[in-house]
Amino acid sequence: MTVRTLIVDDSVTMQALIRRTLSNDPGIEIVGTAGSADEARAQIKALDPDVVTLDIEMPGLSGLEFLERLMRLRPTPVVMLSTLTSEGAEASITALELGAFECFDKLALRNPDEAIRLPGLVRAASTTRHRMAPVPVRAPVSQQDDYVPREGAMIAVGSSTGGVEALIELLSGFPANCPPTVIVQHMPPSFTASFSARLNRLCRPSVEEARAGAPLSVGKVYLAPGGDRHLEITGGGTKRMCRLVPGPRVSGHQPSVDQLFHSVARVAGGDAVGAILTGMGGDGAEGMLAMRNAGSVTIGQDEATSVVYGMPAVAHRIGAVVQQLPLRKIASRLLQECRA
């Protein structure tokens, strides 16, 4: 199937660069370009593209404002293009919350080795079967008021494409005294600080970027920092802590869900509960199998609620998942398995 794609960017030079990058893929057809939100609106109505690439920074109606209207009125898969500065990261996180499929660094288009990722993202975006909409934060759940986690219990989570919305939904169901929780979400280095701060504002537990030596504590959620290190847990008994380990990519990623899950299997075994959420590829599947073999309960997000049924599908296929659940039910199951 040819993916009919509309390019929206106020720079003619950038339009040409995006066109050249996407045209290298014979499965992608550029059906039009637009330099403003008004032009984009008209082009989308006339051309009905499968995917839109959208610049965050545009004159007049910004890319974020246009994205919000598009997702509300005419849901369409969107790949956002942004500079991955701290300001760009904050805007990109907002775009992902609003329903963008993924964000791509505009500067990477000038590096052929990195630019080749964009056609793959566009093709993957075209396969999504449902709107990626912002998830409302849920009010405190009364039955969690008396929640007490079992001593030594912990939760480990892995996610990728679609994970921003999924993690907001998941952690919104956690009480303030949730079991210690460690998360790897595939993100550029500049994104994870903004995202952890966003989660900390939206959710009842305390959410922070993991740092070396941070003790795993009740009521704390630790998000792996993006960059050149992997998040692991270390320690013994109930005294466990975060460890940041330099090293090459594992399962194509750095940090890697597999590396985190393997460490959880070694250190926590049956005390741990794992969840693998929406994402492209298969990172986390082998690590989740190790967790299950070590006695952990393992949960996979089901196909119907996954933005991309990749990571959970591979984990399910190799027998790593005890049960598949819709996203809305995963938080309560994780908490139930960790309850005293």
Catalytic positions, written as ranges: 160, 186, 283
260 vs 313: CA distance, rounded Å: 19
Quick check: 330 and 170 in contact, CB under 8 A?
Answer: yes
Query: CA of 202: how far to CAs of 143, 195, 296, in Å?
Result: 20, 11, 28
Tokens encoding 269: 């075994």
91 vs 232: CA distance, rounded Å: 29
Give how far the C-alpha of residue 146 lies from the chain's centroid of Cα atoms, to the nearest Å: 30
Quick check: 326 and 304 in contact, CB under 8 A?
Answer: yes
4 vs 122: CA distance, rounded Å: 10
Residues 6+ apart with CB under 8 A from 61: 36, 37, 38
Query: CA of 253: how far to CAs of 34, 38, 59, 102, 109, in Å?
Result: 34, 38, 35, 16, 20
Query: CA of 290: how far to CAs of 113, 145, 173, 258, 277, in Å?
Result: 33, 33, 27, 9, 17
Closest among 53, 115, 121 to 81, alpha carbons compared: 53
Closest among 126, 85, 132 to 105, alpha carbons compared: 85
Positive/negative CA dihedral, 225, 307, 23, 6: negative
Query: CA of 188: how far to CAs of 104, 258, 308, in Å?
Result: 10, 18, 19
Residues 6+ apart with CB under 8 A from 295: 269, 270
Tell me 268's DSSP state.
T
